[in-house]
């Protein structure tokens, strides 16, 4: 075994808690079919595209008499998209269930994400191999990638690889885009009568793969606790030195669940919520006014320090930016095959051509941005057509603009403080953290449950564990049809079927909690310092889940 820290050693021995009914063992559970489902939006288009797997029933597992020996089933697993704490435990749960069902079953791990199955790069899991990764962070066990599975050739290659290895089912562990892949693959394999099943598992630190059935994606719990620890540490530093404003950008490509959760755990002075910005049609200028006002009030009271949380995806929610980025996406998608554009070498000439293809308003917005932000907006989209917002330095843009406004206020005699700012970006720091007890248990249950769905013969389903604010003994194990979560959205300039992202609800209980407190937190220092994730100790410290889950479930129970 590699050199490992004492904590890592202890964590390898941690036995994750399995969801209620799954604890009885893979041979003692049976599936019950619930109501038929439809799609969250655009049902006709989704039904047409996914004719074989559309509209299936929800599945719930319950206890049953032990069954005898199960037929051999080989499974392939893929980690897909960005890393999230707990991925290794999903694989461990899947492996343990599969071996309990029949020791002759084999688990194959495809390397480097979806491209691994297309290119036939894989490893076969053994006890020794998996045991080294139990309860660890990261996706390094088999690696991950963002290849989009959508072409006929890719699907045929997947089928070839499954035939070569006698694989009966594929488990895709991923976020909304990756589970969209899972849905397309399930449809194709079913259409061709291959008998190969596809099951997804809900992953992403962003916390936006959730709906009426999926309470939270795995990784959100650990990542937000990790960021909250760091933000808390910075708050303590700011409160000690009293000389800096810290502008902290927090990961979460689109939705603001991460920044909102971190805000509830730490109570900073300012938290921007992208969904609110969009809903209240706040322009970039009005966001700068909002921040400047708080900085100025604090400065005039002798407090030249503070903490502002900025969501990673903010720029795409500012109305004028959203329109401009959407136009830019379409223009760049067409420009890929346009020699007039690809032959241009200088970026200034590229900007000039691009802006002539925009509406006047968007061209003005684009031209008003600092050079560095223009460059970052022009970078390649990811394979799913998303702007790579992690590379856009919104926190620096805001510091620059706030600083300019404060200088004006100073000239007018309305600001007497000093503004010195530090920028931070917390994202990669949290994605591979050692999973919290919650994520370790949840992920293990998700993986185990994925095999239960395979064993029961389902395809085109997402593994689902519910009732997550209760102890694991009360968790419910389910399967949710992937088509139930889909709708049509524009990607790379074309309408495509995708899993709908869950954004922060402005009328929901989580946002309301921030809204009710933020005025107080802005001017009075109500900082909370959460400290590091604890793995051993009292349950109220080690097993507590996120404020988001607690507040949302409280509301769900009341309804
Ligand atoms: P997933 O949705 O695939 O889980 O990834 C989420 C995320 O961590 C975002 O928060 C972030 O914008 C993005 O990945 C960064 O991607 P990359 O790892 O390619 O830099």
pLDDT tens by residue, 265-320: 999 999 999 999 999 999 999 999 999 999 999 999 999 999 999 999 999 999 99
Q: Is 206 a catalytic residue?
A: yes
DSSP class of residue 485 equals G
Residue 380 — very low, low, confident or very high, per pLDDT cuts 50/70/90?
Answer: confident
Encode pLDDT of 160-195 as tens digits: 999 999 999 999 999 998 999 999 999 999 999 999
Encode pLDDT of 446-456 as tens digits: 999 999 999 99
Q: Tell me which of 137, 176, 182, 206 to substitute to probe ligand 1's pocket, judged by most ligand atoms within 8 Å of the beta carbon.
A: 206
Residue 329 has pLDDT above 90, yes or no: no
Contact indicator for 477, 447 with CB cutoff of 8 Å = no
User: Can you point out the beta strands (E) in 266-352?
Assistant: 270-271, 306-311
Distance CA 84, CA 132 (A): 18
Angle at 185 between CA 386 and CA 56, to 5 degrees: 105
DSSP class of residue 432 equals T
pLDDT score, position 417: 97
Residue 245: its H or E element: strand 245-250
Q: Output the CA 205–ligand 1 centroid distance in Å.
A: 8
Contact indicator for 47, 39 with CB cutoff of 8 Å = yes
pLDDT score, position 338: 82
Q: Which residues line ligand 1 (CB under 6 A)?
A: 81-82, 84, 175, 203-206, 251-253, 312, 389-390, 431
**Residue range 44-50: mean pLDDT, rounded:** 96
Buried b / exposed e along 364-392 (16+ C-beta atoms within 10 A): ebbeebeeebbebbeeeebbbbbbebbeb
pLDDT score, position 527: 98
Q: From the alpha carbon of 251, which atom of ligand 1 is closest?
A: 10
Q: From the alpha carbon of 178, which atom of ligand 1 is closest?
A: 3
Distance CA 200, CA 307 (A): 38
Q: Tell me which of 81, 226, 314, 392 to substitute to probe ligand 1's pocket, judged by most ligand atoms within 8 Å of the beta carbon.
A: 81
Q: Which of 73, 66, 131 is nearest to 102 (CA)?
A: 73
pLDDT score, position 559: 37
Residue 2 — very low, low, confident or very high, per pLDDT cuts 50/70/90?
Answer: low
Q: Tell me which of 79, 81, 82, 177 to substitute to probe ligand 1's pocket, judged by most ligand atoms within 8 Å of the beta carbon.
A: 82
- Please name the residue whose Cα sits nearest to atom 1 of ligand 1: 82
Q: Output the CA 81–ligand 1 centroid distance in Å.
A: 7
Distance CA 459, CA 445 (A): 18
- Please name the residue whose Cα sits nearest to atom 19 of ligand 1: 82
Q: Output the CA 218–ligand 1 centroid distance in Å.
A: 14
**Residue range 31-44: mean pLDDT, rounded:** 95
pLDDT score, position 331: 87
Encode pLDDT of 495-527 as tens digits: 999 999 999 999 999 999 999 999 999 999 999
**Residue range 5-30: mean pLDDT, rounded:** 93
Residue 465 — very low, low, confident or very high, per pLDDT cuts 50/70/90?
Answer: very high
Q: From the alpha carbon of 204, which atom of ligand 1 is closest?
A: 4
pLDDT score, position 542: 94
Residue 1 — very low, low, confident or very high, per pLDDT cuts 50/70/90?
Answer: low
Q: Output the CA 253–ligand 1 centroid distance in Å.
A: 6
pLDDT score, position 314: 95
In the numeric block, which tokens belong to residue 163? 């035939």
pLDDT score, position 168: 97
**Residue range 41-63: mean pLDDT, rounded:** 96
> What is the pLDDT of the chain when averaged over all its residues?
94
Give the side-chain half-sphere CA count within 13 A for 510: 25
Distance CA 51, CA 39 (A): 12
DSSP class of residue 495 equals E
DSSP class of residue 103 equals T
pLDDT score, position 345: 81
Give the β-pairing of 197-202 and 461-466: parallel
Whether the model clears a pTM of 0.85, i.e. scores above it, the answer is yes
Sequence-ordered alpha helix ranges (H) in 1-82: 6-12, 43-49
- Please name the residue whose Cα sits nearest to atom 6 of ligand 1: 82
Encode pLDDT of 221-270 as tens digits: 999 999 999 999 999 999 999 999 999 999 998 999 999 999 999 999 99
Residue 381 has pLDDT above 80, yes or no: no
- Catalytically annotated residue among 96, 176, 190, 206: 206
Q: Output the CA 391–ligand 1 centroid distance in Å.
A: 11
In the numeric block, which tokens belong to residue 201? 């598992």
CA 497 to chain centre: 19
- Please name the residue whose Cα sits nearest to atom 20 of ligand 1: 390
pLDDT score, position 306: 98
Encode pLDDT of 79-95 as tens digits: 999 999 999 999 999 99
Q: Output the CA 275–ligand 1 centroid distance in Å.
A: 19
Give the β-pairing of 245-250 and 107-110: unpaired
Angle at 116 between CA 134 and CA 190, to 5 degrees: 100
């Amino acid at each position: 075994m590699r050199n490992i820290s004492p904590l890592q050693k202890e964590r390898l021995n941690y036995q994750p808690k399995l969801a209620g009914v799954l604890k009885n063992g893979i041979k003692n559970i049976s599936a019950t079919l619930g109501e038929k489902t439809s799609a969250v939006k655009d049902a006709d288009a989704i039904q047409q595209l996914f004719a074989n797997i559309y509209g299936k029933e929800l599945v719930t597992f319950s206890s049953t008499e032990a069954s005898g020996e199960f037929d051999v089933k080989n499974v392939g697993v893929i980690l897909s998209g960005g890393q999230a704490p707990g991925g290794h435990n999903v694989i461990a749960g899947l492996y343990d269930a599969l071996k309990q069902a029949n020791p002759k079953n084999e688990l194959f791990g495809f390397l480097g994400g979806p491209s691994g199955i297309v290119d036939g790069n894989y490893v076969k899991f053994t006890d020794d191999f998996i045991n080294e990764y139990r309860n660890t962070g990261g996706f390094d066990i088999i690696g991950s990638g963002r290849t989009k599975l959508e072409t006929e050739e890719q699907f045929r290659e997947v089928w070839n690889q499954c035939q070569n290895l006698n694989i009966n089912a594929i488990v895709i562990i991923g976020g909304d885009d990756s589970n969209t892949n899972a849905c397309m693959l399930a449809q194709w394999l079913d259409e061709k009568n291959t008998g190969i099943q596809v099951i997804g598992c809900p992953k992403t630190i962003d916390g936006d793969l959730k709906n009426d059935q999926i309470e939270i994606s795995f990784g959100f719990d650990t990542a937000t606790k990790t960021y909250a620890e760091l933000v808390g540490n910075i708050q303590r530093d700011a409160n000690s030195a009293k000389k800096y404003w810290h502008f902290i950008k927090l990961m979460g490509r689109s939705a603001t669940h991460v920044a909102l959760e971190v805000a509830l755990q730490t109570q900073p002075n300012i938290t921007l919520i992208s969904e609110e910005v969009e809903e209240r049609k706040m322009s970039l200028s009005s966001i700068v006014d909002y921040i400047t006002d708080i900085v100025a009030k604090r400065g005039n009271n002798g407090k030249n320090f503070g903490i502002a949380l900025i969501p990673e995806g903010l720029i795409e929610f500012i109305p004028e930016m959203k329109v401009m980025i959407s136009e830019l996406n379409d223009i760049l998608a067409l420009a890929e095959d346009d020699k007039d554009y690809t032959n241009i070498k200088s970026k200034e000439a590229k900007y000039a051509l691009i802006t002539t293809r925009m509406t006047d308003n968007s061209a003005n917005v684009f031209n008003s941005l600092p050079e560095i932000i223009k460059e970052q907006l022009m970078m390649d989209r990811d394979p799913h057509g998303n702007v790579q917002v992690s590379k856009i330095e919104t926190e620096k843009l805001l510091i620059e603009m706030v600083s300019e406004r404060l200088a004006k206020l100073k000239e007018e005699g309305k600001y007497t403080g000093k503004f010195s700012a530090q920028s931070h970006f917390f994202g990669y720091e949290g994605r591979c953290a050692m999973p919290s007890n919650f994520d370790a248990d949840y992920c293990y249950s998700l993986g185990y449950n994925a095999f239960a769905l395979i064993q029961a013969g389902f395809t085109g389903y997402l593994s689902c564990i519910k009732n997550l604010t209760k102890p694991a003994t009360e968790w419910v194990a389910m399967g949710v049809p992937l088509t139930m979560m889909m709708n049509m959205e524009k990607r790379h300039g074309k309408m495509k079927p995708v899993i709908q992202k869950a954004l922060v609800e402005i009328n929901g209980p989580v946002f309301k909690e921030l809204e009710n407190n933020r005025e107080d937190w802005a001017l009075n220092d109500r900082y909370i310092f959460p400290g590091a994730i604890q793995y051993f100790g009292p349950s109220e410290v080690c097993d507590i889940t996120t404020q988001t889950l607690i507040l949302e479930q409280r509301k769900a129970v009341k309804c």
